[in-house]
Amino acid sequence: MADNTRVAAGHKANLNNPHTSVESKVHSKEVLKEEFGEDVPYRDGKHPGNVAGGLKAAITNPSVSDEAKESAKERLEEMGA
């Protein structure tokens, strides 16, 4: 069984890793929120147009879970996109 502290640290690291996909970041954010009660915002400095494009791509990607798609839709609504 994984140590919860290490699991949370791994998901937080994923959110700050520029080499991971938007889908992966959405998943990590969901895990942190659902499993650990943390709502971790994306790192500042991201271009909003690129973030919106990635979220839209996640919504239409058949490999992305329904939960992640719903999260991406909510995030787009928050962004006003």
Q: What is the pTM of this model?
A: 0.46
Q: From CA 36, how far away is CA 57, in angstroms rounded?
A: 27
Q: What is the pLDDT of residues 4-24, one digit of tens each?
A: 788 888 998 998 898 999 999
What is the pLDDT at residue 38? 65
Query: What H or E segment, with its residue span, contains residue 32?
Result: helix 22-36
pLDDT of 69 over the 90 cut: yes
**Cα 35 from Cα 30, distance rounded (Å):** 8
